[in-house]
Amino acid sequence: MTCLPSPSNDQAYCVVSALEAGHINFPVDMFIDNAAPGYAILVPSLSFLLRHSKTDKKFIFDLGIRKDFENYPPAVRQLGQLFSPTASAKPGPKHLRERVLAVEHSEVLWVALTALTALERSRDVAESVIKGGLSPSDIDTVCISHCHWDHVGNPKQFPNSEFIVGAASDSLFHPGYPEDPNSMFASDLLPAGRARFVELSDQPPLGPFPHAFDFYGDGSVYIVDAAGHLLGHVVLVVRTSADGGWILLGGDSAHHWNLITGESKIADGLPVFGGGCAHMDKKTAELTIQRIREFWTLPRTRVILAHDEPWYKANKDTSFWPAQIKSE
């Protein structure tokens, strides 16, 4: 029977707070197989602040969307050709190439290749940290679940942080942009001398997951191999109390809760993904989802996805820094 490590005497844990980090419009039928054609929802791109119970070390998981969208590589900006901002778009996967990406951030809604339209003010991660009384320079560690544009934010805002990414992410930057003008990954994204590519294949198991790195060495934070979506994709499993509470921060392991519950399957056959799906390796992504589902069934566990719209709606007034997510 799968179980998680029991707490030790005087067990260390982390206090977890969500951080506002922008929103994007999701055409749901791109991600689950039984969504209504053309149905889209506005979802968060969540970031999380962890504070260690004994050392007060500060750790951020994911950086969300950068406010200066125009400073992403051109290949990211050109995603505007592929997604629709509204449910009024023509239905069905065959029309996905006619869609336009909508990115809500700062004072812009990016609705076309070159057009910026005023919308409303929204904070990035650095501003969210400051709002709660910290400075970005106070953050000791930033772990990025994977290097897609809506998770990497602007690392330059965190001048003192060590950056942690899965080891396989390294190949995404060789070559990156601008050496490869078509790359979605900027070569200088991760700060020189402060980036650590963590190899997880030789790490021991944690619950249903075959490989997990005990980051602080005290059982409080585990960086977990969660392959399938993109090279180097990781999730975080965090102990949230001294007596056995846990939370899993799931990144893009699943883009919709129906995939965790089993009510939906990963959408497939999409022209925007070359006839495939939103994951680089569908079978491995399905296995990762299965493991997250198994974790979710264990006592005193919680799962939050990066684009967790139901959780955001239920908790946006109670769980964001300087408030904290209540432990199970």
Report the pLDDT value the prediction gives residue 1, as an integer from 0 to 100. Answer: 61
pLDDT of residue 191: 95
Q: How far apart (Å, rounded) are the C-alpha atoms in residues 102 and 84?
A: 7
Which residues, 6 or more positions from 133, have their beta carbon under 8 angstroms from its beta carbon?
Answer: 322
Residue 264 is which amino acid? S
Q: Which CA distances in Å does 200 have to 70, 90, 288?
A: 34, 43, 15
Distance between CA atoms of 300 and 135, rounded to whole angstroms? 32
Write down the domain spans for the chain.
Answer: 14-315
Q: How many Cβ atoms from other residues are within 10 Å of residue 265's Cβ?
A: 15
What gap in Å lies between CA 152 and CA 142, rounded to an integer? 10
Q: Which of 41, 44, 30 is nearest to 105 (CA)?
A: 44
Q: Which pTM does this prediction carry? A: 0.89
- pLDDT at 158 (0 to 100): 99
pLDDT at residue number 233? 98
Q: Which amino acid is at 124?
A: D
159: preceding bond cis by omega (within 30 degrees): no
Alpha helices in the chain (DSSP H): 74-77, 125-131, 149-152, 257-261, 282-296, 309-315
Provide the edge-to-edge strand list for the sheet that holds 23-27.
40-44, 23-27, 103-105, 108-110, 116-117
Q: Which residues in 285-309 are b (16+ Cβ under 10 Å) and which e?
A: bbebbebbbebeebeebbbbbbbbb
Distance CA 138, CA 136 (A): 5
| Cβ within 8 Å of residue 86, ≥6 positions away | 25, 40, 102
**Which CATH number describes the domain made up of 14-315?**
3.60.15.10
Distances (CA, A) of 250 to 130, 238, 267, 311, 321: 25, 11, 19, 13, 19
Per-residue pLDDT of the chain (328 residues; tens, 9 = 90+): 679 999 999 999 999 999 999 988 888 988 999 999 888 888 999 999 999 999 999 999 999 999 888 899 998 887 644 433 333 333 344 333 334 344 444 333 333 322 222 223 378 999 999 999 999 999 999 999 999 999 999 999 999 999 999 999 999 999 999 999 999 999 999 999 999 999 999 999 999 999 999 999 999 999 999 999 999 999 999 999 999 999 999 999 999 999 999 999 999 977 666 668 999 999 999 999 999 999 999 999 999 999 999 999 999 999 999 999 999 8
Residue whose token pair is 């050392």: 55
pLDDT at 175: 95
What's the confidence (pLDDT) of residue 36? 92
Helix (H) or strand (E) holding 58: strand 58-61
Residue 118's pLDDT is: 25
Verify cis geometry, omega within 30 degrees of 0, for the bond prior to 175: yes
On whether the CB atoms of residues 63 and 49 are closer than 8 A, the answer is no
In whole angstroms, what is the distance from residue 198 CA to residue 200 CA?
Answer: 6
Q: Which 8-state DSSP code applies to residue 184?
A: S
